[in-house]
Amino acid sequence: MPSRSRAALGLAASASLLALTATAHAAEPDLKGRCLALEKTMAGHWPDADTRIVSSTPQAAGPITLPPMMPGAPGTPVQLPEHCEVYGVMHERTGVDGQAYAIRFHVRLPTTWNQGFFFQGGGGTNGEVGNAIGPTGSDTPPALLQGYAVVSQDSGHDNARNTDPTHGGTAAFGFDPQARADYGNASLKPVADAAKALVAAFYGSTPHRSYFVGCSKGGEEGMVFAQQHPEEFDGILASAPGFALPRAALAQAWDVQAFAALAKGPDGQPSFPLLSAAFSDADLGLVRDAVLEACDADDGAKDGIVGTFAQCTAAKVAPALKTRTCAGAKVDGCLSPNQVTAITQSYGGPRTKAGQAIYSDWPWDAGVAAPGWRIWKLGLADKVPSLNVALGGASLASVFTTPPTPLPPDPQALLRWQMGLDIDQVAAQLTATSATFPRSAWQDVSARSPDLSGLKARGAKLMVPHGASDPVFSINDTLAWWREVDSRQGGKAAAFVRVFPVPGMNHCAGGPATTHYDAFGALVRWVEQGQAPDRILASAGPDTPWPGRTRPLCPYPKVARYKGTGDLNSADSFDCAL
């Protein structure tokens, strides 16, 4: 069917639904009545006929505790407003692996609505329907409290149902091609359209503005919308985007091979429990000190923040590392030659035997000694295993390679598997297809296209904050992508897309950095008031060396440069400049 005909049918369906809900509102003007009537109201009016409401429940105002950003951290209590809570499901089916799959979504519709719609991105391997609260930042109210209708979703598989201890545990969905596609991109537009239909049914009006906000896998989902479905949102906040997930997962195996060489037990074999001891906290502090010695002052201020992180290369840091390398056996206060080799290999990124880059290198930045860096690369002693092994290994085996490899979700088994990988062979599996998987993992679970012409034509805006010390997705890859976008736009991409690096920040949060900032507010002002964000005020939290310090976050390629005078802890002393 021609796209114009589909659009006409969609408009007709929307008009029919709005007319129906106007009648329903007259009969049921109160929250409880409208909420309980949603299943009846939506019958025959879903954008995708294979959709149904599981439950619709009026909820009084009350508290909820949001999950912590880091394992072991306390949750955050939030007082929710009165709202209608809806759980829905679509595309129920049986997969090629015999498991029952479906796309499940969760919507909260506040009584006091600001006429906005908010899609909450996922994280990790998803599989959780999400809380539909709409986190917007560490210091800003969730979207639901701001009056937005919010949706979250599980991306087509359920961690409680679609798990198999012999096939990667909760990553077992990767053995079903449709579940892999739903996880990567296919579930996103159907859920957005279903949630918008619910909004229209509940309020009798379509959203005035629509926003997507996510980090990590959620950042990848934002990129999917920006590149493949630009008509869905007016503004997209895609933080630390995992838009090259399969390649980044291979980079995690590359890291494991580098660091596990330092984690051998008495039998000479790498041991998972010893991986976290490959570098002590003091050792990583030596690496951080080398980085600061080499690069800290290049932005005009020697302040513990590497503002010019993109220019902090291995060649620049090498002399400072050399002065901290043990002349003999490893002792406290210096790094062994093998440690220097391993961390240099990690920062260089994965390469083929011929020396060709597979993913990206990483900037040397001061966040290397923070827990948020260690937890991914090495693990937190006996508290939290290396996520590069526990999450990255299972995902690479089950989701990002064709054919997938059945492994138990046991860290030691995953470590052995990662250690035995041939990097060149696995790199080919990222783009491989088969009779069972006619689309590759790269096709299904990546969104790195520099073609944003549809987003530009839509008049929508895209913002991409990213930590310079992100140990999961290299900011160098994000900056390379932005340069490709800017080249296609004749050097004028900043009119609708801007990347905001955060020096020192780890993955989505944490690190010696100014991690407290309101990017969502800046996005809303850009979309609704035309105020392009030339800088975003950010502050350092209590877990940093300088609580309360402020800095401007600058749109790449500008960086925060010291004016030469003024308080080093004040953003007023810094300009965003090239």
Residue 90 in tokens: 């679509």
C-alpha atoms less than 13 angstroms from C-alpha of 6 in its C-beta half-sphere: 5
Known catalytic residue at 434: no
* Residue 470 annotated in active site: yes
- Strands 149-153, 235-239: pairing is unpaired
No. of helices (H) and no. of strands (E), the chain:
20, 16
Q: How far apart are CA 544 and CA 516, in angstroms?
A: 11
HSE value, Cβ hemisphere, 13 Å, CA-based, for 159: 11
DSSP string, 133-150: -----TTS--GGGGT-EE
User: Per the residue annotation, which of 296, 299, 361, 470 is the catalytic one?
Assistant: 470
Catalytic residue among 106, 229, 507, 516: 507
Which residue carries 């995690």 as its tokens?
Answer: 252
Return the closest-CA partner of residue 541 out of 567, 515, 505.
515
Residue 466 known to be catalytic: no
Tokens of 58: 């009026």
Local structure of residue 183 (DSSP, 8 states): I
Catalytic option among 152, 155, 210, 216: 216
From CA 318, how far away is CA 294, in angstroms rounded?
9
Helix (H) or strand (E) holding 223: helix 217-228
79, 177, 67, 82: which is closest to 128 by C-alpha? 67
Distance, in Å, from the CA atom of 539 to the CA atom of 551, rounded to the nearest integer, reads: 6
Distance between CA atoms of 238 and 227, rounded to whole angstroms? Answer: 12
Which residues, listed in sequence order, are joined to residue 351 by a DSSP beta bridge? 357
Alpha-carbon distance of 22 to 403, in angstroms, equals 51
Residue from 460, 465, 452 nearest 535 by CA: 465
Asked if 530 and 565 count as a contact pair (C-beta separation under 8 A), the reply is no
223 near 230, Cβ under 8 Å?
no
Which residues are annotated as catalytic? Answer: 216, 470, 507
